[in-house]
Amino acid sequence: MPEEHAELHAELRAVVRDLLAKTGPDAAPDWRTLARSGWLGLEAPEELDGAGASFAETAVVLHEFGRAAARGPYPAVAALALGALTLLEPSPGRDGLIEATVAGRTVPILALDGEAEHVPFRLLRTATGLALHGAARFVQEAPAADRLLLPALDPAGTPVLVDLPARTAGLTGSAIPVLDETRTFGEISAQGPTVPEDSVLRFADEAKAVRRLHDRAAVALACDSLGSAEAMLDATVAYAGTREQFGRRIGSFQAVKHLCADMLVKVEVARHLVGAAVRAEAGEGDPVAAAMAKSHACAAAVEVAGTAMQLHGGMGYTWESGIHVHLKRVTLDRELCGSPAAHRRRLADRYPALARGEAETYTSR
């Protein structure tokens, strides 16, 4: 990473961390403050009032949101919805929506199914025009949406993005209760609402669009989990340095040292994998880097949070410790947008010879 970018990221990270600390754990950052800070439009083109930056800068904010277990729709809007809009061909509809998002006048939510990697909606040609059908579950921050961006296949089978107000007749949404109280999720169902032609937005690269949306969502979750894992490691090391048992600080016990070292190793590996995936996403994207980051970082974060709970002893189970907040958050991160096993299967699919049991043939090439 160029040195000037590292300094910029460090400064951005410090500002975000300070804002989230002032906001506190029980409230979401003020949306107007986020808009004035420019964080909603980090990746938006400069001619549309954005900063013209890349996903690397958005990832810094996502990482800090995970570290603070912060509330609010920022990750869903800045990482997913705006990211989807930047993959579209320029049009008056797309450009206007980007400008409104950057200014904080609207909260668009991408209705990406959090359970399965597929295009959840279909556009059908009827006598009265285009009609939308389908459903998406575990849509992040769906209850906060005033506009919905719905990935769909048009009548020709081409991936498109349908932009509709959240309160459109024929579109229904219902909240899905989850243990993680820092975020909200919902199910979006379309029972044939009429879609105006100018609400159908087309991707610049239709062949890669759907894959890019899912990979971007996976990397965003990996950033969130990495931030949370780092917070749990720091909290545990600090606790082990002050908590005493048998007249000694528990951090002096070898068993505790080993567990803290294991946590550090998991975090460091995750940091490198997430860094590689973020750099790839800031460019043309890399499905392999995204799968490696998602599979490791999200699984490691759950293990780190579990160890943090163990080393805090009874304190770890108290409401005040906050460890349960991170444990529930990273557990949900792990399962959204593909489990670690699903992403590892994607990685293994690169080696069809191994899948057929022809390991010796493959490795001899």
- Phi, psi dihedral angles at 324 (to 5 degrees): -65, -30
Check: CB of residue 64 under 8 Å from CB of residue 34.
no
Sign, CA torsion 279/281/284/289: positive
* pLDDT for 353: 62
According to DSSP, residue 143 is labeled G
- Mind listing the pLDDT tens digit for each residue in 274-301? 999 999 999 988 999 999 999 999 999 9
> How crowded is residue 204: how many other Cβ atoms within 10 Å of its Cβ?
11
- Mind listing the pLDDT tens digit for each residue in 93-152? 999 999 999 999 999 999 999 877 789 999 999 999 999 999 999 999 999 999 999 999
Asked whether residue 35 carries a pLDDT value surpassing 50, the answer given is yes
* pLDDT for 321: 84
Check: CB of residue 97 under 8 Å from CB of residue 199.
no
Vertex 25: Cα angle to 22 and 26 (nearest 5): 110
- In the chain, the percentage of residues whose pLDDT exceeds 70 is 95
The single-letter code of the amino acid at 104 is G
- Mind listing the pLDDT tens digit for each residue in 57-82? 999 999 999 999 999 999 999 999 99
Give the CA distances from residue 42 to residues 68, 192, 242, 273, 359, in Å, rounded to whole numbers and listed in that order.
20, 35, 40, 23, 45
Model confidence, pTM: 0.93
Question: Comparing C-alpha atoms, which of 286, 291, 327, 297 is closest to residue 310?
Answer: 327
Burial 107-117 (b: 16+ CB within 10 A, else e): bbbbbbbbeeb
* pLDDT for 336: 96
3-state secondary structure of 136: strand
- Mean pLDDT for 8-34 is 94
Torsion-angle region of 133 (φ positive above 0: left; ψ -120 to 50: alpha; else: beta): beta
- Mean pLDDT for 331-350 is 94
All structural domains of the chain, each given as residue ranges with its CATH number in brackets, are 3-202 (2.40.110.10), 208-354 (1.20.140.10)
Sequence-ordered strand ranges (E) for the chain = 108-110, 121-126, 129-140, 147-153, 159-165, 171-176, 185-195, 200-202, 244-245, 248-249
In the structure, what pLDDT confidence band is assigned to residue 364 with cuts at 50, 70 and 90?
Answer: very low
Distance CA 62, CA 227 (A): 8
Give the H/E segment covering residue 266: helix 254-281
In the structure, what pLDDT confidence band is assigned to residue 269 with cuts at 50, 70 and 90?
Answer: very high
- Mean pLDDT for 312-336 is 92
Check: CB of residue 148 under 8 Å from CB of residue 109.
yes
* pLDDT for 365: 38
- In the chain, the percentage of residues whose pLDDT exceeds 90 is 87
Encoded tokens for 82: 């705006």
Distance CA 231, CA 235 (A): 6
Beta bridge partners of 121: 134, 152
Which residues, including other chains, have CB under 8 Å from residue 111's CB and lie 6 or more apart?
Answer: 120, 121, 136, 139, 142, 148, 149, 150, 151, 188
- Mind listing the pLDDT tens digit for each residue in 207-229? 899 999 999 999 999 999 999 99
Give the CA distances from residue 189 to residues 111, 118, 120, in Å, rounded to whole numbers and listed in that order.
10, 15, 9
Distance CA 231, CA 61 (A): 15
* pLDDT for 118: 86
